[in-house]
Amino acid sequence: MSRVPYSSNVGCLMYAMMCNRPDICYAISLVSKSQSNPGRDHWEAVNRIFRYPKETTDHTLQPTPMTVSSSTNGADTLFADITHFHSLIGALQYLAITRPDIQFVVNRVAQHMHQPSEHDYHCLKRILRYICGSLGHGLLIRPGDLELRGFSDSDWANDKNDRKSTSGFLVFLGPNLISWCIKKQPKVSRSSTEVEYRTLALLAAETMIGVANE
């Protein structure tokens, strides 16, 4: 089998992975190990990866990164390939740098990365299908004023396992989003008011750091 076309095809897949297809990163990592001496099985694997984006573009797209349903089918069944799960989580966390619309759900699924279930993997695949249908989304820089604005919100005791709350905030410079964060609070809050104050404290600290750096 020719090495040059094989390496070229693997390179094309790596580029596609970095641009908008984090769901194929694990498969590419496997086929890339055989670039020095590819066999027939390796070629078939590469061809299958090329067919996969076309097969998953139309009928599996999702309008949102997560569902509002409380269904937990498969929550008791552990996911077999933890390495594959970690690889997808890592790619999505990197993508979330420029896609704040997926940061909350990626953070939520990543909380189970040490012992993922089949349900967690289904949630992960839904994120990937949402990304495939929203490739044009991203952060745009527009001209405007230089006023610093901050917005915060929280979800009190939303985690049913430890009853900890989730905080989130956005910081805008004029019309442009320049900083954002979604994280689980380290301590259990006794009321929704306490949660809101903790979130405001995070927002104030982030804003002050931004002003000090200026």
168-193, pLDDT tens digit by residue?
Answer: 888 888 888 888 888 888 888 888 88
Mean pLDDT (the chain, rounded): 78
Residue at 186 is within a domain: yes
> In which domain, by residue range, is 45 found?
3-55
Residue at 174 is within a domain: yes
Residue at 157 is within a domain: yes
- Distance between CA 89 and CA 86 in Å, rounded? 5
The last residue of one of the domains, among 24, 39, 55, is 55
Full-model pTM: 0.56
**pLDDT value at position 29?**
77
- The H or E element spanning position 97 is none
Encoding tokens for residue 46?
């590469």
Residue at 31 is within a domain: yes
How many independent structural domains does the chain possess? 2
Residue at 114 is within a domain: no
Report whether 97 contacts 18 (CB < 8 A). no
In degrees to the nearest 10, what's the CA dihedral of 34, 37, 41, 46?
50
Residue at 61 is within a domain: no
Residue at 100 is within a domain: no
Beta-strand pair 176-184/166-173: antiparallel
